[in-house]
Amino acid sequence: MWNERRTNAWLLLELIVVSVVLWYVVDTLYCRLATYGDPRGFDTEHCYLLELGKLRPGSPDYVPGVSPAGHRDAVLELCERIRRRPGVEAVSLSLASYPYNGSNNSIFLGYDSLRARYIAVHRMVSPDFLRVFRYRGAHGEPPELLASVLERGDVLVSDNLFDDYGVDMDTLVGRTVHSLNSDGLQTRVGALIEPVRYSDFHEARHSLTLVENLESYYQDAPGILMDSPELCLRMRPESDKDVAALLMGDSDRQLRVGNLYVRNVRSFADIRRSYQLLQTTELRNLAVVMGFLLLNVFLGLLGTFWFRTQQRRGELALHRAMGARRGKCSDGWWARGLCCWP
């Protein structure tokens, strides 16, 4: 080892460089995978998003003069028709609230002198939204109980809203939180929910949520449903077969009300895959880099020792020609400081 110290120094330097890079890759992979495995706060299995479209004036079926109230009623009628279909478990309306959605409403929340450290996602949803995506309370309350909180006019907030202050969030139930935005919204907290993560790779501590009943808005201001309302549904597991094809097949006959129709049906499995494509690609690339580095370490060590063995073949052959025996060394050879051929 000492005689070949220069070669060994380069080998050691290579191992140090590769180890540093591997440490970074493994640490990044571990953090991403640990975050990925955390509870998401929602469940999108067997769920679908119905994208709605509106007929244009040039269409032969266009109904002129539809008021905002008429459009609201058409949206609600469409929800009822879908809810009555066999195999449908729940149907919901929302605005910029469904999971894996790059568009959202944000709000800064405060209570007394406390200010939430991060922006909260303001989810305006119908009570059935909690049943569709199976939100759960901070103490395990089922979606049905949380939906009743929205129905009576209170809001839901995630139980990590004021984690930085060490506040017992249970003491906020029944209290009023206020918006630090220009709207000055003040509303009463009815219950706490588990943190609803923005995506599978977004940490829960950065995911703050306020859930409010959308129905309280569109009853007084029907125009709120004029701009891209989200219609989501959950199918029963035994009925979750060819849902998109069946719904689109009935789009012209049963799923068109006034100027409103179902333009597209997307499963949340596809939405999730598309939304997180960049993160999953990066994760896969990190895994490939880690495998490549490990292969290089293996081949580097194997090649180094194979090369050194090949260099000694001539010396071993000379020992054999001079009388060295396999597995034994004579006293004469030891006296000369020569190793016998193994």
The answer for residues whose C-beta is within 8 angstroms of residue 108's C-beta and 6 or more apart is: 115, 116, 119, 120, 179, 180, 181
Q: What is the pLDDT of residue 57?
A: 87
Q: What is the pLDDT of residue 2?
A: 66
The answer for residues whose C-beta is within 8 angstroms of residue 105's C-beta and 6 or more apart is: 95, 96, 121, 122, 123, 124
Q: What is the pLDDT of residue 80?
A: 93
Q: Give the CA dihedral 126, 132, 136, 142, nearest 10 degrees.
A: 90
Domain boundaries, the chain: 47-275
Q: What is the pLDDT of residue 342?
A: 43
For residue 132, is it left (φ>0), alpha (ψ between -120 and 50) or beta?
Answer: alpha
pLDDT in tens, 222-248: 888 887 789 999 999 999 999 999 888
Q: Do 129 and 234 contact (CB within 8 A), yes or no? A: no
Q: What is the pLDDT of residue 340?
A: 43
Of residues 195, 199, 196, the one with CA closest to residue 32? 199
The answer for residues whose C-beta is within 8 angstroms of residue 136's C-beta and 6 or more apart is: 41, 142, 143, 146, 193, 194
Q: What is the pLDDT of residue 4?
A: 67
Q: How far apart are CA 6 and CA 251, in angstroms?
A: 76
Q: How far apart are CA 40 and CA 21, in angstroms?
A: 31
Q: What is the pLDDT of residue 130?
A: 96
Residues in the chain with pLDDT < 70? Answer: 1-4, 7, 182, 301, 303-305, 307-312, 326-342
CA angle 134, 122, 172 (to 5 degrees): 80
Q: What is the pLDDT of residue 168?
A: 87
Q: What tokens does 233 get?
A: 């549904």
pLDDT in tens, 72-106: 999 999 999 999 999 999 999 999 999 999 888 88
Q: What is the pLDDT of residue 188?
A: 93
